[in-house]
Amino acid sequence: MTHEDFMREAIALSFQNMEAGHGGPFGAVVVKDGEIIARGFNQVTSCCDPTAHAEMVAIRQAAASLQRFDLSGCVIYTSTEPCPMCLSAIYWAHLDAIYYANSREDAAAIGFDDLMLYREVCLDVSQRSMPMRRVLQDEAMSAFQAWQDKVDKVAY
């Protein structure tokens, strides 16, 4: 199968599940060794889960399927450029590459705020529209010190 074949599957998922009323027009597949090991589609509204973007669903399913939190050796095909949430999840999962079709500008043009989100994420904490306030930093630091001292931790 070619890049185009895998992307067609992601696009088909975006169509089918939008038509079925599951959520926005977004689909994704995770591929390992030339085979699709996970499929995702947007389920934000139908599952009452604001994190259930196509890529997130596909990554969680791939990790569960492989029983690994590290998806090195896999790539993702997504019908739209990942938003900062999904892009970050792709980094945390250590996927090898991203193939995408629609861009963040295309998404913004049909009402999805990916462009705004990229702007906000890159602002300094004090400049964001989201109020952010720091409290109890001394108490929280002790958990970090305990992590550093922990001898049996599973790092990632």
Q: Which residues are catalytic?
A: 55
**Chosen residue from 14, 28, 32, 39 binding a second copy by CB under 8 A:** 14
The residue type found at 81 is: E
Structure tokens at 16: 């089918």
Q: How many CB atoms lie within 10 A of CB 156?
A: 7
Shortest CB 73 distance to a second copy, Å? 14
72 binds a second copy (CB under 8 A): no
Q: What is the Cα–Cα distance from 115 to 130, expressed in whole angstroms?
A: 16
Shortest CB 41 distance to a second copy, Å? 11
CA distances from 29 to 20, 73, 156 (A): 18, 14, 23
Shortest CB 127 distance to a second copy, Å? 13
111 binds a second copy (CB under 8 A): yes
**Chosen residue from 35, 51, 73, 105 binding a second copy by CB under 8 A:** 51
Q: Residue 72 phi/psi, 5° resolution?
A: -55, 140
Binders of a second copy in range 84-103 (CB under 8 A): 84-103
Do 69 and 63 meet the contact criterion of CB atoms below 8 Å apart? yes
126 binds a second copy (CB under 8 A): no
20 binds a second copy (CB under 8 A): no
